[in-house]
A and B are shown apart, each in its own frame.
Chain A
Amino acid sequence: MLFQLAWKNIWRNKTRSLVVMGSVVVGLWAGAFIIAYVFGMIEQRLKDAVENEVSHLQLHHPEFDKDNEVKYFIPNGSDAFSSIQEDQRIKAASARVVVFGMVASAQNSTGGKFIGVLPASENRVTGLEEKLTQGSYFEHDSKNRVIIGERLAEKLKVKLRSKIVLTFQDTTGSITAGAFRIIGLYKTYNSTYDETNIFVRAPDLSRLLGTDLQYHEVAMLLQDPESLEAIKSELGAQFTDTTVESWKELSPELGLMIDSFDQYMIVFIIIIMLALSFGIVNTMLMAVLERVREIGMLMAVGMNRIRVFGMIFLETLLLVLLASPIGLCLAYITIQYLGSTGMDLSGLYQEGYAAYGFKSYIYPKLEDIYYLRIMIMVTITALLASIYPAFTAVRLNPVTAIRKI
């Protein structure tokens, strides 16, 4: 009986019901979209970080991570590299000489990470060649050629074919330096990465270090990212006196960043839910106040307070249940569509995203279970919001309500 009455009541004032339904639709849609957006962004960032920066796995000397000292070469690094290259489960591997030092131009200097690479292997792992915006990749066997990020070039005020000097300690602790000519400028989506990472040929660095060709790092991309942990422990056992780390360990800041985005997302959702509840409190309160006499009459003839409360509560619930499928469908369609086309934010906030290493293309993405969770959240919010109007109805005094007649 209450159900039928509530159902009929919600069609009394169509505009008002549409306002409530509209807020629920927008609440659901916006809530789902924001979550999908953040998920898409995080996934994109992880993918980028793996494919462009850290790879799936890296092999180092156990001490290398701590001190980054040049003497910590991977024991038997060349053999390890060859055997990794033959492993079918590993899509690509790149062996690197890694040295930290100062990079200087005539105008400016800054700290940098010098990465000595085998050009072909490196390209298969990080796709460095594709990221070039000017110049060319290491093609000829000419010595002391360098590829730096556009950002760094700006900072050093240098151009293609300019010379820069890399200064660092060799294995004996003496300072060594080499002049390199810029043959290429690259750009990734991560401007911080672009500012620090400087690519040269591995033999050029070894020569300056005063050693034969030995490696500090072997970075690997796997055929199947799911097998990450398994391959990691296998390699760890295979290459004793080394450490094998996954991208999660190599880039703890990624995890932190994901956490902070989670928090932003929660704040956004709370704001949306607050807006939704204000909308509902307002409209349902209007619905109650417009019906003061009628509710007074109902209480006079014997409708008890639980039923009055239930009637208003049910009216809100029905509106939410009517609106939810619409909101969910809209959210689903939007997320599916933008998830396949991608959202181009380049005009919007590219610099800001790039500073965090985000592409300006985002592919929103949401697992089915989240639609259900959002719907539950919106329903609970709406029902909580209906408590105050329902309570207002219950507190009406039939005598004063009817006096208004």
Chain B
Amino acid sequence: MENDTPVIVTEQLSKIYPGPVPVHAVNDVDLKVMKGEFTALVGPSGSGKTTLLNLIGGLDYPSNGKVWIRGQEISSLSKSALIEYRLNNIGFVFQAYNLIPVLTARENIEFVMLLQKKSKQERDRRVMELLKEVDLVDQQNKRPGQLSGGQQQRVAVARALASKPAFILADEPTANLDSTTAGNLLDTMVRLNHEENMTFIFSTHDQRVIDRAHRVITLVDGSIARDQIVAVPSDHH
């Protein structure tokens, strides 16, 4: 694969929330994320992690600067175009409320592929594959309310993968989980990173989660304070 093409590039990326006292949530961030990277975004609460992830994920528009995903500039897309873009290019895992409560685990995973108008055959095949990867084949017909927090987050990861995105963006995916369950989720993510060469970028507070990352970016007051490579991406043995 073209592991040399950056998946995410930001240039002079800034977000200022207007108000009586404008908040510079993200300040001149220049970032490059390569395919297959497993990157943690850390920093104190309020340091701008969520804001930065929202900009990268095309959920919000920057005040300044640009975002490229696989070489395409997305900050100039219209709102509707961005929704379509997110559907086909970005996988999301949030801290909570990731799933549609009335659908089963299986249907939740299938949902994005339905939005993408994938064929029944392809959906069935892919859902099965993903259920196996996140180890939830037995739970596929349960609704989110009948699953544990860790299982729900694994369904969310499978759902994020289902659309075959360029990368998966996860904002504090383990924040609501106890450490063992958080560890399980991380195992799943690491495995997917290995097996599917899927790029992950996630924010976290949890030191044990940080320890599993290959690259740790520390944000302070909206700027990158430190950017460490702690291990080579899975593909670059």
Residues of A within 8 A of B (CB): 1, 5, 8-9, 11-12, 293-294, 297-305, 307, 398-399, 402-403, 405
Contact = CB atoms under 8 A, between A and B. Distances in A.
Given A9-B102, A294-B101, A301-B159, A307 B94 contact: no
A297 B98 contact: yes
B28 interface: no
Q: Determine which residue in B86, B160, B163 has the highest number of CB atoms from chain A within 10 A of its CB, and name it.
A: B86
A302 B95 CA distance: 18
Give the interface centre of B54, B86, B87, B97 by most chain A CB atoms within 10 Å.
B97
Q: Which secondary structure dominates chain A's binding surface?
A: helix
Contacts, number: 67
B46 to A, nearest CB: 13
B97 A304 contact: no
9 contacts: A1-B114, A294-B97, A297-B97, A300-B92, A300-B94, A301-B87, A302-B163, A405-B95, A405-B97
B102 A301 contact: no
Nearest to A10: B102
Interface string B67-101: 00000000000001001101110001011111011
Contact of A304 (B80, B96, B160): B80
B80 A305 contact: yes
A405 B94 contact: yes
Given A1-B114, A399-B54, A402-B94, A299 B103 contact: no
Interface of B: 50, 54, 57, 59-60, 80, 83-84, 86-88, 92, 94-98, 100-103, 111-112, 114-116, 159-160, 163
Contacts of B163: 301-302
A154 B103 CA distance: 76
Contact of B59 (A5, A298, A300, A305): A300
B100 A298 contact: yes
Contacts of B112: 301-302
A9 B100 CA distance: 10
B25 to A, nearest CB: 12
A393 to B, nearest CB: 14
A5 B100 contact: yes
A307 B57 CA distance: 21
Contacts of B57: 300
A392 B102 CA distance: 21
Given A1-B114, A399-B54, A301 B92 contact: yes
A300 B171 CA distance: 13
A304 B83 contact: yes
Given A1-B114, A9-B102, A405-B95, A398 B84 contact: no
B151 to A, nearest CB: 17
